[in-house]
Amino acid sequence: MDLSEYFAQTPSAAIAFSGGVDSAYLLYAAMRSGVRVRAYYVKSVFQPRFELEDAEKLAGQLQADMKVINVDVLSSQIIAANPPDRCYHCKRIIFETIAKAAGEDGFTVLLDGTNASDEEGDRPGMRALRELSVQSPLRMCGLTKAQIRRLSREAGLFTWDKPAYACLATRIPAGESITAQKLSATEAAENYLFGLGFTDFRVRMAGSTARLQFPDSQMSRVLERREEILKELKKYYTAVLLDLETRG
């Protein structure tokens, strides 16, 4: 089955929309197939501001119907406690919220952008998708991340080469509590590094210490700008460490 065949059987659907590569292409494919579709973006302290901006930009490019829903994820004690399966509990709340809003809007089918490259063992949130009967057409049709990027580029979607970006909560080690202040510090630090032109990096937190992870190709530039990076990030952390085990 390919996507056109899938959408021929699914004339109406809601899409959990993050503004990333996969959900962007899924929204594009649904609209191209003539599906009555609405994109639902969940705004929380786990998502940096640029993710919402990208989602709004893509929706505007496609002239798609998009709804933003605010969710207070830290009101859940189990999510704030950050257990190893935090992603499951977070996905459960997010998709329950989207399903409720979509149902009120007349949609009975909820889709997400999980693709065929996503390993279930690495994604505890997939358990929540199964429990809530969320469908993943990209995965069902065997589309890998590389194929989705290629198809997105051919479709003229600016998201085609957008780097993978896990939510801010992943920067805090499991078992260490999550607070709005920690998430704010992480977002500010990463925004600063993005502004310097760095990409595909992570600012991970352990207590009040930051551990920076960069691709090997960017390490020399990091060292060249070490002093200014240190000066800025010490506004948010008591210590700033550079991880010599590079990303990718």
pLDDT in tens, 58-73: 999 999 999 999 999 9
- What is the DSSP pairing of strand 202-206 with strand 209-213? antiparallel
Please answer whether residues 137 and 26 qualify as being in contact, where contact means their C-beta atoms are separated by less than 8 angstroms: yes
In the chain, the N- to C-terminal Cα span, in Å, equals: 33
Residues 130 and 50 occupy one common structural domain: yes
Q: 73-108, pLDDT tens digit by residue? A: 999 999 999 999 999 999 999 999 999 999 999 999
Question: Is 170 part of any domain?
Answer: no
130 located within any domain: yes
Q: What is the pLDDT at residue 146?
A: 96
- CATH of residue 192's domain is 3.30.70
Q: Is the pLDDT of residue 121 over 80?
A: no
Predicted local distance difference test score (pLDDT) of residue 109? 98
Residue 230 token pair: 């240190």
Verify that 147 and 195 share a domain, yes or no. no
Same domain? 149 vs 202? no
| Residue 122 reports pLDDT greater than 60 | no
CA distances from 106 to 14, 24, 111, 167 (A): 9, 22, 14, 29
What is the share, in percent, of the chain residues with pLDDT greater than 70?
Answer: 98
Residues 141 and 198 in one domain: no
In a domain, 211, yes or no: yes
The whole domain housing 218 covers 179-242
Residue 56 lies in a domain: yes
- The answer on pLDDT for 123 being more than 70 is no
Dist. CA 130–CA 221, nearest whole Å: 43
93 located within any domain:
yes
Residues 132, 198: one domain? no
Looking at the domain assignment, is residue 171 inside a domain?
no
**Residue-level pLDDT at 105:** 97
Residue for token pair 């998430």: 183
> Where residue 118 falls among pLDDT bands split at 50, 70, 90?
confident
Q: Are residues 186 and 150 in the same domain?
A: no
The residue among 109 and 207 whose pLDDT is bigger is: 109
Residues 32 and 136 placed together within one structural domain of the fold = yes
The pLDDT of residue 120 is 65
Same domain, 13 and 106: yes
Judging by beta carbons within 10 Å of its beta carbon (0-12, 13-18, 19+), is residue 164 exposed, middle or buried?
exposed
**Is the pTM value of this prediction over 0.85?**
yes
Listed residue (29, 4, 27, 36) closest to 106, CA to CA: 36
Q: Where is the domain boundary, 98, 132, 161?
A: 161
Helix (H) or strand (E) holding 198: none
pLDDT at 103: 97
What confidence score (pLDDT) does residue 247 get?
80
Q: 145: which residues sit within 8 A by CB, 6+ positions away?
A: 21, 22, 115, 117, 118
Pair (92, 28) in one structural domain: yes
